[in-house]
């Protein structure tokens, strides 16, 4: 931090020893002003969000409002020539985003997850997130490259096009999901959108980093295989690390005897350190912290949570809800402010226009092809309906993850290239957050997936109407058909089905103090999810 | 953060564009490992602290244990030649300390404060904190300067001696207080030690910064007056800012109508932002954030807190307890690690030895002279007994505040001078934390102030035995004596007494939803203080 500040004041040279005292005081004052502004914007966002929700203004969700506040204040700071030392507090630092803002958001996603719809759609989610994101990245990359070749847009090398494709394929869960919840949509659609957007962040990061490595090594042989192997390695490794940390925490809290009343603080301290431990363990091993902390969240909710004392249970739920709300809102403000402050190369309007076109095409290729594959493997009663596919296609707005990776690409890529990618990503983020975020409600109503009673709406479930149709059915009736894809995809479903039994008979009794008979955990009233505390 | 990392890897030069991708990945991995280590040390500290407390090992309090863990791991990292990129995560950054670790600790001090003993001893506390710290700073500074003149120790200019005197006069509340609480000591002694150690941090910072300014301007005329005026300005300004923010929050929560059940998250989000707002407001105005956030804590507990919904009340108490526990423990680990890693100039052993001697003398001058003044103004029944004075003298261990200011002096002072001060401070911190921290229990027993029933021990009060002898009495019977000091000091007492009436009749009804009749807030079972959740 000290170094950071010393860098940001280059005028503070060799004769620093005499001036440093005042300088330090001044820097601290600048920091105070900077953080003060951030807090005021946060408060404003929360209050504005509350007012908008209360008046049911769906075309300006909280995330859009936060982004606009950030843009506005950033613009004002730009115009009013604010001091550089204050501005540095608003520069979007990818490290800060990845290490401090992202972990609580993703953990809360896992922690507030309703396991039943998630696991019964696990096969589909993984298909969309892994295979689909891969398709989307490649399609976007190839189209951008072709566009460059045809002089439609700024020409980038092929690998850099693929990097752009990877980073722009990361969809953001925040805004869309908060609207989904508010309107009460189909649980399966919710699970699909949610699961995809969380997991594809991990895929996009992995793809981006792999491409970045490929670019440096320039060994273009076996690239494709390398990408696949490296991704699988990362994914499986991170998943194992996350689940491992989760199970460790469950055993610790089961046997440490901390659930007596006067140790609540110690219990909570340890509990809140575990998710972060999981994230940093994965990052430290060169794996994906996001995937790891997501699964730690799922495991900790399902096993560790029930080993806590009742007070601590209430506390940690509220705690993670609070922390993730703050982080989420802050991300959008921070992004808005940085967009207003950064240097953009707006000369490439063509690049922006065609990128938007291409990502729409790429997302269609992702969603519809994956949905086709999933439907092949599913029984007739459980096929993903066309309207759900359309909703899924529509809800692919780009957020902080794409933005952070684009910012990183400015450092990773040669002069000009990274800048172009960053500007395009910025434009895409702002447009999709404002347009898609603002119109999701209308879209969901148009597609008639709001309050759909076909197989239980989110809204109904929220009121405790436990609908048992989401248990993964046994797939025996479907064994007649047998092409390769179906078999492969069905494995996911089978694993989900057998997982329920495994969980009930072995995992729950082993890792928690409950006996395995009650499987209340799976039936609990739906997502106390992301914005939970606010709405219901 | 990004800049920070770029600085820390000087080998990553102009050809960065090609290597940056891998570099970024590596940096992130290093960050992961660094933070992972920190989390592991935190967990270790908590578990160790718990075990030590359970076995009633008072000679190794949690703070000492954390410091030792930090020292140990830092030493290992030093020996095993850990990579620089990982080490940078452990450098103690004063900015990080002042902006992120200190605010929650100080806020929790104010928030968990039992107002009755604090306000009934307010005059004494202010005397010790302001006048006493001033005496201690000057005495230390003069002695160190004289020591330099007499070739006893490294010679520093007079202003730098005073800076050293100021920074080394900041006593740390954490360790001593946790032991006080555990053993259950006299509430008045507790209030004195607590109040002094919190307020003198603010005084020490102000003095240090003022001296730093004096040093730069080198206008040695009117220095003394300037110090006084500037300090008063800062103190009164910060206090007003803090109280103002606190009252604003009380009104907001009284009228916003957020205490209905489904808005708990919003309510908590706003509540936890206010203290930080207060801190940053004061810092942004060039005032003292510590003083401001302390009084915000007191006001928010007394007024805002009762305007919250019951769930939120439970939550925010646990939240601040959690956050401050984490910050406190982390500070000691962080300090230990940094001490083990930094370059020290151990050549000045003489400086260290004499400094220790001098601060012992200076603290005696502080405590006994101020106690004499306070006793002049107090009625015979309320005089500070000699054993309390001794306990107060003994409990002046130096902690993170002195350390952070010393680290800052390395940047503020010319080569060598700052280094000497830093090394001496480091040695003093380690020695006092380990020795005083470890022997406070024995000392309290030797002085027979443990479980003292004379006017209600802390232990008794914890069990809800509301002892009404702490209400500031009316001082009419004492009006016969009348020298200048007495009059001055009595004003504090009178203000405390009239404050109780003011609070009951006007403030409580205006700022909270209660009517003024119940003054339960003042009678609530004693400090749910710093380590509250752990022990009772």
- pLDDT tens digits, one per residue of A362-411: 999 999 999 999 998 888 888 888 888 888 888 888 888 888 888 888 88
Over its C-alpha atoms, chain B yields an Rg (Å, rounded) of 24
**Which residue is associated with the tokens 């807090």?**
A39
Distance in Å, alpha carbon of A382 to nearest chain B alpha carbon: 35
Distance (Å, whole) CA B15 – CA B11:
10
Cβ atoms within 10 Å of B6's Cβ, excluding its own:
18
Residue A154 has pLDDT above 50, yes or no: yes
Answer whether A28 sits within 8 Å of B3, measured CB to CB.
Answer: no
Chain B residues touching A278 at Cβ < 8 A: none
Distance in Å, alpha carbon of B325 to nearest chain A alpha carbon: 8
pLDDT in tens, A28-69: 788 888 889 889 999 999 989 888 888 877 788 888 889 999
Q: What proportions of chain A, in percent to the nearest 5, are helix, strand and coil?
A: 75, 0, 20
pLDDT category at A532 given cuts 50, 70, 90 is very low
Distance (Å, whole) CA A499 – CA B101:
43
What the block records as the tokens of A177 is 């999901």
What is the arithmetic mean of pLDDT over B286-298? Answer: 88
Q: Which residue blocks in A395-450 are alpha helix, DSSP H?
A: 400-412, 417-446
Distance (Å, whole) CA B58 – CA B92:
28
Q: What pLDDT score was predicted for residue B532?
A: 38
At residue A185, φ and ψ (nearest 5 deg) are -110, 180
Cβ atoms within 10 Å of B431's Cβ, excluding its own:
14
Residue of A nearest to B54 (CA): A263
Interface test with B, best of A7, A9, A20 (most B CBs within 10 A): A20
What is the arithmetic mean of pLDDT over B255-284? Answer: 86
Residues in CB range of A29: below 8 A, 6 or more apart? B283, B284, B285, B286
Number of A–B residue contacts, CB under 8 Å: 241
pLDDT category at A289 given cuts 50, 70, 90 is confident
Chain A residues touching B530 at Cβ < 8 A: none
Distance (Å, whole) CA A172 – CA A97:
14
- CB A172, CB A397: distance < 8 Å: yes
- Please state, for a pLDDT cut of 90, what percent of chain B lies above it: 17
Q: What pLDDT score was predicted for residue B517?
A: 43
- CB B23, CB B9: distance < 8 Å: yes
Residues in CB range of B346: below 8 A, 6 or more apart? B423
B160 or A225, which is more confident:
B160
Q: How many helices (H) and strands (E) does chain A have?
A: 25, 0
What is the arithmetic mean of pLDDT over A163-176? Answer: 84
Chain B residues touching A1 at Cβ < 8 A: 4, 93-96
Residue B505 has pLDDT above 90, yes or no: no
- DSSP 3-state of B83: coil
pLDDT category at A234 given cuts 50, 70, 90 is confident
For residue B186, the cross-strand partners are: B457
- Please state, for a pLDDT cut of 70, what percent of chain A lies above it: 78
What the block records as the tokens of B305 is 């807190």
Distance (Å, whole) CA B363 – CA B140:
9
For residue B171, the cross-strand partners are: B398
Q: What is the predicted ipTM?
A: 0.78
Distance (Å, whole) CA B490 – CA B172:
28
Q: Pick the range with the lowest mean pLDDT from B10-14, B418-422, B481-485.
A: B10-14
- CB B176, CB B131: distance < 8 Å: no
pLDDT category at B490 given cuts 50, 70, 90 is low
Q: Report which of A32, A183, A343, A123 is spatially closest to residue B98, judged by C-alpha positions.
A: A32
Q: What pLDDT score was predicted for residue A346?
A: 67
Chain B residues touching A20 at Cβ < 8 A: 411-412
Length of chain A, in residues: 536
- Phi-psi region for residue B173, left (φ > 0), alpha (ψ -120 to 50) or beta? alpha
SS (H, E, C) B18-55: HHHHHHHHHHHHHHHHHHHHHHHHHHHHHHHHHHHHHC
Answer whether B35 sits within 8 Å of A99, measured CB to CB.
Answer: yes
Q: What pLDDT score was predicted for residue A88?
A: 74
Q: What pLDDT score was predicted for residue A139?
A: 93
What the block records as the tokens of B486 is 């007495």
Distance in Å, alpha carbon of A270 to nearest chain B alpha carbon: 7
Q: Pick the range with the lowest mean pLDDT from A252-266, A460-474, B50-64.
A: A460-474
What is the arithmetic mean of pLDDT over B228-233? Answer: 77
Residue B221 has pLDDT above 50, yes or no: yes
DSSP state of A170: -
Distance (Å, whole) CA A333 – CA A65:
9
Residue of B nearest to A3 (CA): B4
Q: What pLDDT score was predicted for residue A370?
A: 92
Distance (Å, whole) CA A107 – CA A327:
12
Answer whether A277 sits within 8 Å of B43, measured CB to CB.
Answer: yes
Q: Pick the range with the lowest mean pLDDT from A6-20, A29-43, B234-248, B495-509.
A: A6-20
Cβ atoms within 10 Å of A491's Cβ, excluding its own:
12
What the block records as the tokens of A141 is 């990359």
Residues in CB range of A502: below 8 A, 6 or more apart? none
- CB A375, CB A124: distance < 8 Å: no
Long-range contacts of A360-365 (CB under 8 A, 24+ apart): A361/A139, A361/A143, A362/A135, A362/A136, A362/A137, A362/A139, A362/A140, A362/A143, A362/A165, A362/A169, A363/A136, A363/A393, A363/A396, A364/A393, A365/A135, A365/A136, A365/A139
pLDDT in tens, A91-148: 778 888 888 888 998 898 888 877 778 878 888 888 898 889 989 999 999 999 998 8
Q: What pLDDT score was predicted for residue B24?
A: 61
Cβ atoms within 10 Å of B310's Cβ, excluding its own:
10
Q: What pLDDT score was predicted for residue B371?
A: 92
pLDDT in tens, B143-179: 999 988 887 777 888 888 989 999 999 888 777 777 7
Answer whether B95 sits within 8 Å of A20, measured CB to CB.
Answer: no
Residue of A nearest to B417 (CA): A17
What is the arithmetic mean of pLDDT over B302-324? Answer: 90
pLDDT in tens, A188-214: 888 888 888 878 887 888 788 878 877
Answer whether A535 sits within 8 Å of B262, measured CB to CB.
Answer: yes
Chain B residues touching A283 at Cβ < 8 A: 28-29, 31-32, 36
What the block records as the tokens of B114 is 């039992």
Question: Around B31, how many Cα atoms within 13 Å sit in the side-chain half-sphere?
Answer: 23
Per-residue CA distances from A210 to A127, A171, A400, A424, A482 (Å): 20, 19, 20, 21, 34
Distance (Å, whole) CA A125 – CA A135:
14
Q: Report which of A398, A337, A403 is spatially closest to residue A97, judged by C-alpha positions.
A: A403
Q: Report which of B357, B352, B402, B360 is spatially closest to residue B136, judged by C-alpha positions.
A: B360
Answer whether A281 sits within 8 Å of B32, measured CB to CB.
Answer: yes
Residue B25 has pLDDT above 80, yes or no: no
Residue B456 has pLDDT above 50, yes or no: no
Residues in CB range of B191: below 8 A, 6 or more apart? B114, B117, B118, B120, B121, B125
Answer whether A39 sits within 8 Å of B276, measured CB to CB.
Answer: yes
Distance in Å, alpha carbon of A240 to nearest chain B alpha carbon: 17
Answer whether A277 sits within 8 Å of B7, measured CB to CB.
Answer: no
Q: What pLDDT score was predicted for residue A484?
A: 57
Q: Is B201 exposed, middle or buried (0-12, 13-18, 19+ CB in 10 A)?
A: buried
Per-residue CA distances from A64 to B62, B262, B301, B342 (Å): 45, 22, 34, 46
At residue B186, φ and ψ (nearest 5 deg) are -60, 135
Average pLDDT, chain A: 77
Answer whether B264 sits within 8 Å of A318, measured CB to CB.
Answer: yes
Distance (Å, whole) CA A26 – CA A475:
68
Residue B381 has pLDDT above 60, yes or no: yes
Distance (Å, whole) CA B288 – CA B241:
10
Residue B4 has pLDDT above 70, yes or no: no
A281 or A194, which is more confident:
A281
Distance (Å, whole) CA A86 – CA A466:
52
Q: What pLDDT score was predicted for residue B363?
A: 92
Distance (Å, whole) CA B145 – CA B139:
10
Residue A452 has pLDDT above 80, yes or no: no
Distance (Å, whole) CA B233 – CA B291:
12
Chain B residues touching A276 at Cβ < 8 A: 35, 39
């Amino acid at each position: 931090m000290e170094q950071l500040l010393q860098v940001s004041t280059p005028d503070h040279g060799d004769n620093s020893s005499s001036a440093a005292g005042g300088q330090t005081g001044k820097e601290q004052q600048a920091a105070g002003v900077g953080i003060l502004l951030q807090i005021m914007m946060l408060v404003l966002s929360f209050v504005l969000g509350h007012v908008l929700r209360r008046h049911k203004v769906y075309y300006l969700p909280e995330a859009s409002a936060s982004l606009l506040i950030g843009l506005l204040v950033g613009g004002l700071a730009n115009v009013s020539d604010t001091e550089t030392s204050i501005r540095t507090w608003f520069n979007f630092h990818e490290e800060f985003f990845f290490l401090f803002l992202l972990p609580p958001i993703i953990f809360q996603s896992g922690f507030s997850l309703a396991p039943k719809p998630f696991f019964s759609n696990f096969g589909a989610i993984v298909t969309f997130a892994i295979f689909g994101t891969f398709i989307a990245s490649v399609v976007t990359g190839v189209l951008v490259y072709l566009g460059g070749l045809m002089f439609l847009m700024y020409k980038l090398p092929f690998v850099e096009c693929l990097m752009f494709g990877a980073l722009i394929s990361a969809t953001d869960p925040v805004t869309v999901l908060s609207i989904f919840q508010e309107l009460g949509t189909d649980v399966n659609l919710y699970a699909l959108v949610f699961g995809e957007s969380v997991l594809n962040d991990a895929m996009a990061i992995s793809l981006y980093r792999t491409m970045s490595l490929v670019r440096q090594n320039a060994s273009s042989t076996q690239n494709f295989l390398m990408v696949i192997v490296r991704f699988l390695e990362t994914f499986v490794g991170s998943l194992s690390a996350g689940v491992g940390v989760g199970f460790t925490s469950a055993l610790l809290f089961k046997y440490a005897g901390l659930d007596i009343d006067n140790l609540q603080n110690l219990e909570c301290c340890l509990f809140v350190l575990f998710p972060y431990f999981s994230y940093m363990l994965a990052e430290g091993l060169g794996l994906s912290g996001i995937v790891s902390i997501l699964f730690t969240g799922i495991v900790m909710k399902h096993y560790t949570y029930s080993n806590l004392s009742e007070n601590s249970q209430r506390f940690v739920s509220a705690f993670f809800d609070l922390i993730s709300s703050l982080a989420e809102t802050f991300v959008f403000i921070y992004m808005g402010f940085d967009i207003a402050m950064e240097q953009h190369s707006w000369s490439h309007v063509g690049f922006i226009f065609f990128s938007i076109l291409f990502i729409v095409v790429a997302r269609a290729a992702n969603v519809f092809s994956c949905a086709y594959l999933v439907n092949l493997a599913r029984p007739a009663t459980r096929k993903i309906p066309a309207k759900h596919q359309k909703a899924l296609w529509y809800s692919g707005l780009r957020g902080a993850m794409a933005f952070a990776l684009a910012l990183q690409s400015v450092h990773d890529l040669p002069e000009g290239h990274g800048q172009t990618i960053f500007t395009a990503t910025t434009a895409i983020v702002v447009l999709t957050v404002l347009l898609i975020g603002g119109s999701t409600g209308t879209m969901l109503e148009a597609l008639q997936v709001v309050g759909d009673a076909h197989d239980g709406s989110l809204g109904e479930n929220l009121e405790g109407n436990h609908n048992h149709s989401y248990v993964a059915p046994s797939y025996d009736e479907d064994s007649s058909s047998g092409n390769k894809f179906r078999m492969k995809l069905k494995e996911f479903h089978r694993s989900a089905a057998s997982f329920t039994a495994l969980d009930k008979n072995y995992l729950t009794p082993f890792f928690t103090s409950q006996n395995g008979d009650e499987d209340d955990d799976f039936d609990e009233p739906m997502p106390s999810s992301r914005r939970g505390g606010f709405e219901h």
